[in-house]
Every structure is written in structure tokens, then in C-alpha cells.
Chains A and B, each alone.
Chain A
Amino acid sequence: MDENKLPIPGVSIKIKGTSNGMSTGNEGTFSIVAQKGQALLVSSIGYIAQEVIIDERSTYTIVLKNDAKILSEVVVTALGIKKDVKKIGYATQEIKGSELVKAREPNAINSLTGKIAGLTVGGNAEMLGRPQLVLRGSTDLLFVVDGVPVNSDTWNISADDIESYTVLKGPNAAALYGFRGQNGAILVTTKKGTKDGRGFNVDFNSSTMFEKGFTALPKTQALYGYGNDYKYAYGNDLYDLDGSYRRTNVWGPKFDGQGVAQYDSPIDPATGIRTKTPWLSKGAKNFENFMEMGLLSTNNLSLSASGEKYDLRTSVSHTYQKGMAPNTKLNVDNLNIYGGYNFSPKWRMDGNLNFNSQYTPNIPDVSYGPNSYVYQFKVYGSASWDLNDVRDYWGGARGRPGLVQNYVEYGRHNNPFFTANEWLHGHQKTDINGYAKLSYKLNDDWNFSLRSQVTTWHQLRTEKVPPSTNLNQYVNDYYFNKTNGLYNIWYGDYREDQRSLMEHNHDFLANYNKKINEDFSVSGSAGANLRTFEYNSTWATTYALTLPGVYTLGNSQGPVKSYNFGSKMQVTSGYYTLDFGIKNWLNINTTGRVDKLSTLPKGHDVFFYPSVSLSTVISDYTKLPEFISFLKIRGSFADVRGALTSPTIGTAYNALTGNTVGSLLGGGTYGGYGTELYSSYDGPNYDNQNSYSVNTYYNNTPSVDFSKNIASDKIKPFDVKSYEGGTEVKFLRNRLGLDFTYFTSINGPLVFQLPVANSTSYATESVNAITSKKKGWELSVTGTPVKTTNGFSWDVMANLATYKETLSKIYDGVDGWAVNNHNYKVGERLDGIYGRAYVRAPDGQIIHDASGLPLAQQAGVNNNQLLGYANPDFVFGFNNRFTYKNFSFSFQFDGRLGGKIFDYVYAQSMNAGTALDLVEGQYGDARLKEWQSTNGGTVNATGAMVGNGVVITSGTPHYTNGKIDNFDQLTFAPNTKAVTLRNYIQNGVYGLFDEPFMVNRSYVKLREVVIGYSIPKKMLGKSFIKSASISLIGRNLLYFAQRKDLDLDQYASGFNLSSKSLGGKQSDLQSSTARRYGFNINIGF
């Protein structure tokens, strides 16, 4: 048995000096014939070997101690095969599920943040927001549960059922999963039956966390209100339809108590003109007052049992989250059942079923637009009104119950309470995955298994848009105006998005494991897999309802706009893995896989990919200095192929047309509205077809779109080649461990839609083009700086990772790739952000034009300037854990260093006049001076903003690639021209440049703090409670960044080769993030 008095099966028992021996059974028992005085050699992987001298006793209880020399001896690798960590030639990292179930995140995957070197988790603060996982720069990772790939949105992973997470960090580790594992994989091993001596175990885990206290919040000014050029007046019409400042920015008059016609100012019945009432700051804290305390409660009860022939586990979890935005919530139910039965020593059957259901009547929609609270309160938020005035959102003088909302502004946004309670975004999703497996153990060397697995989900998202919702033209059909004295009221819209996916995997696996003699061992597996895939989705909108408040597609005024997208795919595969071991000198592992993929044209649809890895444990056969207790070096190569599938998919409309739903609903002057939702998919993208799709442009008349891509039947699978080398070293009797990996990968040529000359009349052709090269390294350090005999210990885990991705080849005869605002050349970093920069004098001063604005950069792609890189230089995590007897204390800092991002909230709030910067420093002085020049808003302002910089006094600038190249012909003098601040910001700083809003991407977070106490066994005594612990927990407690108006956490990805997008260039509006703290109780019965 082990130190916890649990039986250890499979322990080798040998009589010293003989070849007599056997192994312990499942219950850890053994019997052997031996003579007194002989010694039993007792050994097992992971434990310190012992010698027991036989005396008179007939039974012996042998306690094996854990071998601290090997921290995690066995790891799960591809296909769920467990391997000795010493023999692996590539980088993996494992984390125990039990470490992540206390300081909870609503999404289990968010908890991995900072724990794995090289895995960047972009924790998403939004409800049902999917965390962005970036592994060596790639975002498309495969999730594997108990050896079988599952299609997951990460919300269907139940943290309490997870024994361990293993991250396979690159294609080298994941070669056996084929193209789905090209970027690495996250393997989840679920909990199985108990090893408890009583034969059963009951566990209860409960966390309750509260969310309050913003860590990232846009800072806005509360000195000036709605208006333009220091003027504002609400119109005489009830809904301001005749007002000049409807849908205005926040460049209005200062709150000096002067008279201004406002929404609640009375109308003089004699003249019909709105009177003036004092203009005051009444709502500086409207946003903070509107938001509520969030709550996250997770409860899990699990029961496991085992007997001679069976093991069982069943687990029920419920997660309830209440958002900080009013009336937002999320429920997740999860049921997990596992059962295994040994028919005989040779035959075993086991199966697992996981059922997950997510449901909510309303989650917030945060993308830029009148649906977003940050847009309402922060970007265009004026402090001129008090939140309490609009709590009754159908009431007041302007409200019409069920028809017209009561608000202070009818041009740009909506009453937030109306948004919260009437404009509802529902979500329902059911996820089921499970498998049944039959295994046969022929003998000690051979075993076989047959497995059938299914993963399926169905999701329904609905959006109920109530009457009088102000969509600010984001939807063409919105109107709120008056004809012939009557108000036209739009009765709202109903939108529905249904998606379902069904995937089957059937596989057969044969394993062989043989130790030929002391020096040689061989093990291997061979298998075959059939994967079938089917996906169906619809997206529909009414555009306008007939009856207000009835949210059905049938209640549509005009024809319902409805789109369908379906797809099918099949992959048949065969694969093998073969390991040779020669003593401890060398371990060789090779894998190979053949796929036949239905998405590729015949003749190119079958392909092979190999991998090989080598490792050697030098410390096992070489005498090393005393302080080095373990040294292993490893190296590997893998080649992965695949084609014409897409890791994610948007709405049916998006899948069909390539356009976002936002562009369908908006498409007007100000772009789309709403968030395009992407689901995990891994199905066909049909990118290589010349085809016609139906569309309509003019007055519902039918039209078609013809492909602008030239399809090719010569497309070959893409190719990712990855090389990796690394070392694991342990020092000072394993007190300090270090794991270092260097990797480089050649990604491509991709299956790519290469731009072609416009004169072909096509935009692109399908070819194998675009190759990138990634280089980087990952380092993780684990150590125990202090460990005393009285039970105190301090454990440290730190990790650090970096990589760079450059363009290494485009296509024969093509020397530029124009994408993301730049014509990239070979050798350039692909995460370079290019845009509009200030034009500067030789001394770096900003050049202004004669009118007092910063001089615009010349237009055109080739004139765009490098503004920074989107990928961080380093990603790190630093975890400390202190334990003393029954107490433990741990905390983690993590973050990213380096890189730039376009701060969208900052840019938009500068343009709108709300940014705090606009009342501070030079801007603030100019603004105040201008306000004073208006005589209380009665005369036009005199500009007082003199931009810091110079003007050209003689000579004409000449430019090359957007930069002046004839400074010798130019003379400069300081800029003295004063303009109004609004003009300077809107038409200059904001209107002409990207540079001012590029902010540092670095941040550090105090991610979690856990203070734990486990109640000592003796206190529990003989009660029915076997173990109990309580923890105080906190997450996201401190946040350090250059500008704390956005939480940089969720922008993990910079450039992503598979989508060719520089998505990480710019932030969006996001919910402001807050601290989360609470407690966790864990009880075992």
C-alpha cells in the first residue's frame, strides 16, 4: 500500500537473487513462497524500492514511499496511451484537476491561465465567452477526453470530473490525431472509480464567489455633457425628433448649473418651447450604480464505487452565474457517468457519458453598438442625467407601456434597464459525449480495444428586440420618427440561430508491450479510426414584427430572412506508434498516420504523416556532479497535413455568404451590429469550389453571387513540419526542476486562396502557398525553496514562453502578400501592426498643417507605418504555494510582456468627448478655456488647442513610403495655430491616426489567492465525514497595465495563420472586469 494506506496494484515482488517473482493484484495483495532470511525486492514505478527480509510472519504489510525523484512519472499521451515521462521525446505538461476546482472560474479552461508554459489562455470575462487558447501562436486546439476527440466550446467541460489536464504542446505530441492535432491538444482525463478501501467514496465540492470591484474600467469625464461645440438643447418634441443634438457626442456645455433645455425640462404650454433648467452633473457614477454584484456558485456531488470486478462513478454538477449586468445569468448542469466491468481477467467493458446543459434567458451583448452598456455609459455616456430617473423604463412622460421606452436620449442609445429587461439574448445548449469500449487482454504483451464514441451538441440562440429599441441605424429597418403627427414605432425583431453537430468516432487499437530483456524494450500500438461528421444550422430574422412583444418567426411583417448551412465529412485513418528502448540510453518513438479525407479532390485525398522523437536520460548512465540529480535531453520531428476544414464556424448566414450577420443587419453607413458567434466545428469549409449562391440585394428580388476564387483540383494537403528539442534537469535532490523546450516549425504551404491579378476578374486562386516559420522557447521551473521538518514547505512553479512568427515564403514569382493593411514581404513578422502614424520632424516632433491639425500620413498600403507587434514578447506565470500542517496558502501572478494593441475604447471615447484625458492636462486646459470663451454656451467657442509640434515654414515635403525624405529642403517652426479641442481630436488625432491609440499590451495580474485549511483527521474522529477542507479564494484581485480601461486578458492571440487574421490588433468594447472572491468547501464522506 502507499503512504495513504491505499492498495497499489502491479507492484513487482521478487525474491532477491532468484528469478522468482510476481505482481500484486488489483487489491494490492500478493502471495509468494519464500524462505526465512531471503529478501523480497518490492518495487513499483513512482515508489522507492524496498527490501523486506522474511521472518516468521506469514503476512506482511509493506508501505511503499513515493519516490520524490520522479514528480509525475506517467503521463497521458496521444490516443490516451500512458507513457513513462522519462521516455517521451517531446514537450508535454500536466496539471491535476484538483488544483483548479477551488478558485473557480465559470469556465474550467480559464483556470489553466498561467499554469502551462507556452499555453496562453485569453480568459474571456464575458458570459459564455469562449477563452482564447493560444499554443505556440495557434488558436485551434483539439480537445480530447479520455483518448477521444470531442467538439467543445469549453463550457461543456466540467471541472469537478477532471482527473488531469495534459497539454501536448505541438504537432510532435499530437501527430497521432492527424490534422486536428496540428497545433497541439489538450487531453482531459476524467475521474474513474474510487480506490478507497471501503469500496465507495462520496465527495462534495462547493464554491461560492462574489464579483465586485472593477479592475479594468474605462475612465470618463463628468464635467461636460451631451452636445456639440459647447451647445446642447433637447428639442421641443417629446422624443427630441426636432432637436439639433439628437444622437450627439459628449462635446457639450460644462456642468455649471446654467440653464439648458433638457429631457425633463418642462415645455411652456403657451409657446410650445422647452424651458431651461440647471445643467448639472447628476450621474457621474451611473455605470457603477447600474452594475450589480456578480455571483458564481458551483456545486458538485460525486459518488464512486469499486469492487472486485467493477468501478463506477457518477457525478452531478450545477453552476449558477449571475452577471454583473442586471438580469443576466447562466446555468450549467453537468452529469457524468462512468462504469467499467471486468467480465474476466481478459475482457473488460467500460463506458462514459457526459451530459451538459447550458441555459439562460439572457446574456449581455457587448460588441460596439447601442446594445452595449460600455457604449451607453462610457463611450457616449453623459453625466447629465440620473439613473434613477429612468428605472421605470416604460413609465414617465415619454414612456408608452410595451411600446416606447422612457429615456433621456432618443438618438443613439437605449434605457439600460430597458436593455436589461426587454432586449433579451437567450441561449440553450445541450452537449453530449460518451463512449463505450471493449478491451481484451490477450496476454501480458498484447491487448486490443474497440471503441465507439459520439460527440454531439445542439444550440439555440435567440434575440428578442423589443419595440422602440434604438439601433442607431445599425439595422436598416429601425426608425423612430413622426409622419403626419404620428410617431412611427418599430415593433421590434426576433432572431434565431440554431446549430447542431453530430460526430462519431469508431476506432480499433492493438497494443503491444514487451520488455525483451534488461536492455531492450519494445512497445507499440496500431489502430484504425472512422470519423463521420454532420453539421446543420439555420439563422433567421423577421426584420420587423407584426405584433409587438410576440417573439416568433411567424410574427413577421415581411418575408422572414432565413439561411441554412449544412455539411458532411468523413475521415478514415490508420495509425501506429512504435517505441524502442535501449536501456536508459535511448528511447525512440515513431508514429505514422494515414488519412483519407472527404474534403479533398480525388487523387490528393490520401496522405501520410510521420513523427519521430528521441530521448535519453543522461543521469541514468553518466556520473554527473552531485547537485544534478536528473538530466534528460530530447528531440523530435513531426509532419502534419490536412486541408479544407475550418476549426470554427459562424452563423448559417456567415457560413453561406462569408459576411457577418452584423453586415446583414447593419451594412449601413456605420457598419454592422452585434457579435458574430463562432462555434467549434472542425468540419469542411468548401473553400475550393466555383459555385453560385443565392442572395438578394434589391427590394427582395432574387440574385446570385458567383465565386471570386478560382478552384483547383490540384490542391494538396497543407503541411506543418515541426522540430523541437528540450531538456529536463533536476537539481539538489529534485528540489529544483527545470524544463526547457526550443521549437521551430515550418507552417505551410497552406491551402490558400492566393490573390491573383485583378485583371483575371477573379480575386484569388486556390493553391498551396504561404509558408510561415515559428521559432520560440518555453521554460518552466519548479522548486521547493524551503522545506522544514516541522511540516512547512514553500513550493514554486514558474513558467515563461516566447515565440515569433515570420513569413518565409509566399509563392513562386510573388513577392508580396497584401493582408492586414500591409504588403508583407518574406522575412517580416506577421504580427506587425501597420497603420496611420504621425508625420514627424527629424527631432521627433509631430508636424502640423497650416490649419493646426497634425499632418495626415499619405494614403495607401505602402505608406502605412509599423506601429508595433501584436504578439507579446513573453508570457509568464508565477505560482507560489506555502503549506504548514493543515494550512496552505497559494497565490499566482501571471501576465504578458511586450506588444501593442489598438485601444478601441480609448479611441472611441476620445472621439465622443468622454475620455478622462479630455479634461486633464493640455486637453483639459484648452477645453476649459474654450468653454469660458463661450460665455456660458451662448457664443461660439474660440479654439484654444495648440497641438504640441511644429509646422513646415518653407519647402514642400516629399515622401517615400509615407515618410518625408527631404528634410534638408524643409524648415520648421513651432506650431502656434489654435483650433477647438473637438476639431483637434475628431478631425485630427482620432480621424487621421491609429498611432495615438496604440497602447502597451503588457499586463500582470494577481490571478488567484487561495488560503486553505483542511480539518485534521483526528478532529473528524469517527464521524461519517472522512475529510473536509475549507478555502478562502480570490481571483483577478490586482491588475497592472498601462491603461486600465480594458482588460487585456482576453486578447491572447495576435496573428493567427489559419485564419490569416491579425485579430489581436484591436480590442473591442468589453464588459468591465471585476475581482472575484469567496469560499470553497470540500467534504469527503
Chain B
Amino acid sequence: MNLNTIKITGMIALAVVLGSCQKGDLLSNPNVANENSNVPVSLLLNHLTWSMYRGGGVVEKSSNSVGEEPFGQVGRWNQYTASTNAYYRGTNAYAFSNTATAYDLLRYANQMESKAIVQLGAVNNIYGALSKFFKAYSFVWLTQRVGDIPAAEAGNSANLTPKFDTQKEVYRRSLQLLDEANTMAGASIKPAVGVDNSATVVPGDIFGLTYLQWQKVINSYRLRVLISLSKRADDNTDLNIKQQFSDILTNTSKYPILTSNTDNLSFKYNATVNKFIYNPDETYNLFENVGKTYLDITTSSMDPRTFITSTPAPAEIASGKTVSDFTAYVGSSTAQTQSTLSANDALGKYSYVNYKRYFATFIGPDPAVIIGYPEVCFNIAEAINRGWAGGSAATWYQNGINASINSYGLSEGQSYDIGNVKGVTLGKVTISISNFLNHPNVKYKGDNSDGLKQILQQKYVAFFENSGWEAFYNWRRTGIPEFANNGPGINPSGVIPLRWQYPLEEQNNNNANYKAAVAAQYGGNDDVNQKMWMLK
């Protein structure tokens, strides 16, 4: 090999090597968009609304997150159903431990807020209003589970050890955010003379609400938050709880609220992607009974919703009862162990979830309500009953019941097929709404504790498999209706816990602040049976 060949070979080799050098940005992930890129705010709202439907921490797969869809674990903790098979239908026990959080909503809301200003060129826009709403929603979601939480310093990637705010302060801040959200939503509906966005559907929203409907949701949610503080309304006058409630009621043009079921914040199922939780493919309903807490109320008041939600207990029918006999509908008690329930269920003692209604289609019978009109009515009725505002509690109580009945599409004299656990028709009943409304248990007993109990009971019935944790929180606040409790099925200690423990990540990574908060509230013991400020 002579010198020239060597030179040539060497140069070719060098060319090959240099030619294969890669140029440009190899650091950034080419498959995604950068944090600072112009991600349309509608996509962020899409994610936020989806996360809200799924429940705190579910989309982010936070540990111990629990789906808030109908007929899930939350429904069992609300005692609407009870499972007899741990594998297929889950457990009933209140195994509360370290909570998940909904702080992911806060992260997305922060992103949406800042991007909205850039993209829409106006500070007052509907996405800004919704950002404030979701921030408040995220704080309230967590504070009512644990007590004090970081709020003022939360949601900042530059501060990894945010200080805790007291629960009272968290509520003050959240109510303030909701007030601002309402103001901003109002401004975005009529941003200029002659422009009216009232009927415009907010792009990206999976619930399909208009600008105005969202404003109604914001204020209706604020009513929910205010009434949830009923135990501390009297001794914390600086929060103006009663006043705020009454202001909203008396100025509905400034604070529009839901006026019918069509305004509901609800998730609509579809046959292709988001099928109803139950559908014709699901056959495990034989392990799911309707809860005693629910059926005891409906059957003792001739409530036609009994027939809608439940099937008659097989043993009762076998013993000769007709399908229209309310005593044929028997609920199972969460206080009993799954073993006992399973043994009784094998004997046909309990009612099942109505197959005909809930398992027959892919889109399901109803949308999943998250904030609904019946609840608004009952919240107002409760506030009036408590003397927070003027008006007729009886009327709002009646409105709430009617709204719930309407949502099931029931009408007086309607003939309704009753099926068994597999949907095989057993017989017919005639729906009587009047018998129900005239039942002494249902006729409003006045603005006293009996009346309050009726409001809360009917609210519980209206919450059947919707509105997430509300049924549980209402029971926790008022003790109404009486939940199955103090039994071996509840959990190893036998008592329904009143709160969750703080997340492990908060304990591990924000330890000093966590310890201080637990010391200040619970004597240093992050225990699930202790009472937080709002329950005292």
C-alpha cells in the first residue's frame, strides 16, 4: 500500500465519520411541545374538565386516588350500594389512609390562566374565570379531606415546601377565588357593548356548557361550599358565610345560579369512547346490592325512585310479594362484613342495582352529575331552614324533589317494568308521585330540625350515584341520613373515619410544615378519626 492510497483511505474514513455527526438540538424531546409553546387553552380546559369528572388525582395516577364516577368505590362509601364480591365489585370497608389530592387541577389552572392572557389578549376571559374556579375546587377538594393544607404558597415549582394555611383561611381564599371567578365570567360574557357570549359553548369543555352556564356553576358551587361550613357559620362571622349565601340568592343577576337540570354540570356518556360505567357487557351486577341507607328512606316514603334504582329482593318475591310492594325492596348494610352480606345475598335477601335501567345501553340512562340543580334547591332550602336567608324552604325543598324526579323522567301514572338481576321482566308497577309527595315522611315539617332532616334526606336520595363525595360529606357534617356505622364491615376498627391522612409525599418532602400542621390541629397525631376545624 503506497502513501497515496493511505492518504485517500484516511480521508474517506474521516469523511464518513464527520458526515455522520448529528446536528441541531438533540436535548429536547422532539415528540412533545415545549412548556412555553402556544398550547391552545381549550386543550387545557379539556384536560381539566376530564380530571374533574374522574376525581382527585385519578388522571395523574396519584396513590390512593379513587374514581368519582357513578357506581364506584365512592358510591359504596356513600352507601348507595354494597358489594358482596371483593374481586369483581370491590370492598365496602372505609379503608381511609393517605389521601390523593386534586392539586393537579391547580397546576393545569395556573398554566391555563397564564396562557389565556397571552392567547386571548384580555385579562378578563372565561378561561381566567375557570382557572380561578378550578383552583378553588382543588383547594376545597383537599381541605375537606384532611384539614389545613397549603393554599397561598401552593402550586409553585419554585417553592417545594409551601406553608400550610388553616382550614378557615383555605375556605376564605377559596370563596374569594369563586367571587372573582364570577366577576371575571360576567365580564367575559359581555366584554363589549353588543357582544353577548351567554349562549356560546366554551371551547374545550367536555361538559358542553355555555359561558353563562359556567357562571351559574361557579355560583352554585359556591353555595355548596358555604352550606358545607354550617357548623362554623355562627362563630366565624369574619367569613360572612350567611351573608355571602344570602347575597347570591338575592342578586341572581349578578350571581346567576342553576335554574334547571339543563344547567347541570354533568358528564354525558357516548357509545364509542366513553361508555357508561355499566353496559351490556357488564355482568357482575349479581355481586352488587343496593344499600340499606338509601332503600330505607325510599321504601318508607313510597318513593317511586325505589323502582328505578333497584330490583326487588329475590327472596321477597319468592315469598309471594308483588313487585310493587315497597317492602320487597331490601337494602344491604355496609356495617355488615362482606362475608355476611355474601351469605345473605346467596339467600336472595337483597335488592340489586336495576339491570334494565343501568345495564341495557352503552350510553347509560343519565349523564353523571357533578354539580346539579336538585342539590342547589336543597342547599337553598337548608339555608332558609337555618335562617341564613329569606324565602320559602318548603318551596325549594319541593323544587329539589321535583327536579330529582324529573331527572329520572318519571311521570304520574306511568307504567314501569320491573326486572330481576338479569333484566328479565317480573312485572309492572304504576308510578305514583303524588302518593310519595303526600307521604307524611315527605311533607315538609317546617323550618325546624325535622324539616332540616327531611331536606337532607331528600338531598341524599337525589345524590344517588352522583356528585362525587357530597353524600358522604353531608352525612359527616349533619349525621343525616343515618349511615350504617359501628359494625365489623366498616373497617377493622369498626367506625367510619372522619378524615384522611396527609399524603406520604407531603409528609416526606414537606415534613416540617406537615408536622406543624398536624401538631396544631390534631395534637401531633395524623389520625383518621379526628375532627377537623369545619366539623367541630
Contact = CB atoms under 8 A, between A and B. Distances in A.
A601 B25 CA distance: 11
B35 A983 contact: no
Q: Which of A438, A759, A765, A860 has the most CB of B within 10 A?
A: A759
B508 interface: yes
Interface in B149-165: 149-150, 153-157, 159-162
A851 B46 contact: no
B30 A566 contact: yes
Contact of B86 (A689, A708, A710, A986): A986
A506 B16 contact: yes
Interface stretch (A100-108, A130-138, A808-816, A1011-1019): A808-816
Interface string A221-232: 000000011000
A621 interface: no
Given A504-B20, A757-B162, A991-B86, A703 B283 contact: no
Contact of B47 (A705, A849, A863): A705
B1 interface: yes
B103 A759 contact: yes
Contacts of B154: 759-761
Contact of B504 (A601, A692, A708, A816): A816
Contacts of B347: 940
B508 A570 contact: no
Contact of A856 (B28, B93, B103): B93
Contacts of A480: 281
A908 B282 CA distance: 20
Interface in B75-113: 84-87, 91, 93, 95-98, 101, 103-104, 106-108, 110-111
Contact of B343 (A601, A703, A860, A983): A983
A689 B20 contact: no
Interface string A847-867: 001111101111111110000
Contact of A567 (B30, B86, B162, B270): B30
A816 B507 CA distance: 9
Contacts of A814: 508-509, 511
A450 B338 contact: no
Interface in A962-990: 979-980, 983-984, 986-988, 990
Given A704-B44, A855-B492, A758 B337 contact: no
B22 A704 contact: no
Interface stretch (A64-72, A147-155, A471-479): A471-479
Contacts of A859: 93, 95-97, 491
B22 A570 contact: yes
Contact of B337 (A243, A481, A655, A851): A851
Contact of A757 (B161, B282, B339, B492): B161
A988 B339 contact: yes
A815 B149 CA distance: 21
Interface string B41-85: 001101101100000000110110000000000000000000011
Contacts of B103: 758-761
Nearest to B513: A757
B304 to A, nearest CB: 27
Contacts of A477: 272
A755 B510 CA distance: 11
A992 B284 CA distance: 19
Contacts of A478: 281
Nearest to B424: A242
A955 to B, nearest CB: 13
A791 interface: no
A746 B32 CA distance: 35
A762 interface: yes
Interface string A754-783: 111111111101000000000000000000
Contact of A851 (B1, B279, B488, B493): B488
Interface string A703-714: 111111010000
A932 interface: no
B433 to A, nearest CB: 31
B501 interface: yes
Contact of B32 (A598, A689, A941): A689
B391 interface: no
A310 interface: no
A504 B17 CA distance: 9
Given A450-B13, A692-B33, A991-B86, A532 B22 contact: yes
Given A758-B506, A979-B343, A506 B20 contact: yes
B86 A987 contact: yes
A761 B362 CA distance: 35
Interface string B240-251: 000000000000
A1063 B192 CA distance: 60
A702 B43 CA distance: 6
Interface in B414-456: 421-422, 424
Interface residues of B, number: 103
B105 to A, nearest CB: 8
Interface string B170-211: 000000000000000000000000000000000010100000
A855 B93 CA distance: 12
B346 A980 contact: yes
B4 interface: no
A484 to B, nearest CB: 12
B266 interface: no
A704 B492 contact: no
Given A757-B162, A860-B97, A473 B281 contact: yes
Interface in B334-357: 336-340, 342-343, 346-347
B96 A247 contact: no
Contacts of B273: 476, 698-700
A959 interface: yes
Contacts of A690: 34-35
Contacts of A452: 13, 16-17
B286 interface: yes
16 contacts: A450-B10, A452-B13, A530-B20, A684-B29, A697-B46, A701-B206, A757-B160, A759-B150, A760-B155, A761-B104, A763-B505, A816-B508, A823-B508, A853-B337, A857-B492, A987-B86
Given A689-B28, A818-B505, A988-B339, 20 more contacts: A566-B30, A570-B22, A692-B34, A693-B33, A703-B46, A704-B33, A704-B43, A759-B510, A761-B103, A763-B60, A814-B508, A815-B508, A817-B508, A856-B93, A856-B492, A862-B97, A959-B492, A987-B338, A991-B91, A991-B338
Interface of B: 1, 9-10, 13, 16-17, 20-22, 26-35, 37, 39, 43-44, 46-47, 49-50, 59-60, 62-63, 84-87, 91, 93, 95-98, 101, 103-104, 106-108, 110-111, 149-150, 153-157, 159-162, 204, 206, 270, 272-275, 279-284, 286, 336-340, 342-343, 346-347, 362, 421-422, 424, 488-489, 491-494, 501, 503-511
Interface of A: 228-229, 242-244, 246-247, 343-344, 347, 411, 438, 450, 452, 473, 476-481, 504, 506, 530, 532, 534, 558, 564-570, 598-602, 655-656, 669, 684, 686, 689-693, 695, 697-708, 710, 754-763, 765, 813-818, 823, 839, 849-853, 855-863, 911, 940-941, 943, 956-957, 959, 979-980, 983-984, 986-988, 990-992
9 tightest CB-CB pairs across the interface, nearest first?
Answer: A860-B97, A991-B86, A859-B95, A757-B510, A686-B29, A598-B26, A761-B107, A759-B150, A851-B337
